[in-house]
Amino acid sequence: MGARLRVGRQGGAVTSYRGRFAPTPSGALHFGSLIAALASFLDARRAGGEWLLRIEDIDPPRCPPGAADTILHQLTAFGLHWDGPVHWQHGRDGAYSAALERLAALGLAYPCSCSRKQWRAHPIYPGWCREGVCEPDKPVAWRLRSDLGLRPVVWEDRLFGEQRFDPAELGDVVLKRKDGLWAYQLAVVVDDAEQGISDVVRGHDLLDNTPWQRQLQHALGLPEPRYLHLPLIVNREGQKLSKQNLAPALPLEDTEVRPLLHRALAALDQAPPEALAGAPVSEQLAWAIHHWDPRRIHPAVNRSE
């Protein structure tokens, strides 16, 4: 199957499919991470496109030494081989600064001294610093002026259908923290554009981040990728599988990898033949790429492990 071709929002050059997997190296990957990585990999390969790997390490206190290397080994063990060099966020300060300066010049980003404790009685940050920093002697974060959107933020998710958000109800998300570290929303938008990402496949827990990202893409004149948000894998207590909830790390031994890969394909509703459960990962992935169809995925927000 040839690469799907699409034209960016700005009417620019036609680009082929380019997807990515972008984990935070706060620990080893788990089964929930595998679902996201596998789905994004299969979607790219089925389209004849590229699949890139980005390590989102903009928050050093959350990234213990060796975690990124573990992630690379885990992806390799499951046969999820990426194209090109690994993209690291920790060296991208200049690009993020340029984007923030552009937003500030447009009146869409502003410094804010308020703490979460000060506005905890409000459902979203009330925008107290929009017209000037409330407490000039305190450290400031930088926020996105999200209420200035002239229209609802609307896009068509490939699994969950039309999504619509009122800009006035989003809240002014942080773009740069008081400690000087970059926030996820700005970094992911700048990097997706830099890498030419055409399609984002990720968990449903990030769906409500997408409106801010769409606002930033529009404000900065960047292409808007297509989005496919996946049901979340939850444990028996209904909690999302995560490092915080002590989800087991993905194995590296082939005898454990094979059945777990088969289980992940089943969790994505791809109905892999039972005979494939013990097959080498290369054989399982070859079958999965040929048969990949995201329309089979049931659009439940959560599903059991």
Q: What is the DSSP string of 37-63?
A: HHHHHHHHHHTT-EEEEEE----GGG-
Opening angle at CA 148, ends 142 and 150, nearest 5 = 150
Instruction: Choose between 22 and 244: higher pLDDT.
Output: 22
What's residue 286's pLDDT?
98
Residue 118 has pLDDT above 70, yes or no: yes
pLDDT at residue number 40 = 98
Element counts in the chain: helices (H) and strands (E): 7, 14
What's the confidence (pLDDT) of residue 43? Answer: 98
Q: Which pLDDT score, from 0 to 100, does residue 151 have?
A: 80
More confident residue, 236 or 175: 175
Centroid of chain to Cα 112: 26
Positive or negative, the CA dihedral 254, 256, 258, 260 is: negative
Residue 118 burial (CB count, 10 A): 14
Q: Has residue 214 got a pLDDT over 80?
A: yes
Q: How far apart are CA 146 and CA 163, in angstroms?
A: 17
Q: What is the CA radius of gyration of the chain?
A: 20
Say if residue 15's pLDDT is above 60: no
Exposed/middle/buried for residue 205 (C-beta within 10 Å: 0-12, 13-18, 19+) = middle
| Active-site amino acid positions | 243
Residue 12: pLDDT band with limits 50, 70, 90: very low
Is it the case that residue 7 has pLDDT exceeding 50? no
Domains of the chain in start order, with CATH, are: 18-304 (3.40.50.620)
Q: What pLDDT is attached to residue 236? A: 67
> Rounded to whole angstroms, how far apart are CA atoms 213 and 166?
14
Instruction: For residue 204, name the pLDDT band (cuts at 50, 70, 90).
Output: very high
Report the alpha-carbon distance of residue 254 to residue 257 in Å, rounded.
5
Q: What is the mean pLDDT of residues 244-260?
A: 86
Average pLDDT estimate for 265-293? 97
The mean pLDDT of the chain is: 90
pLDDT at 168: 85
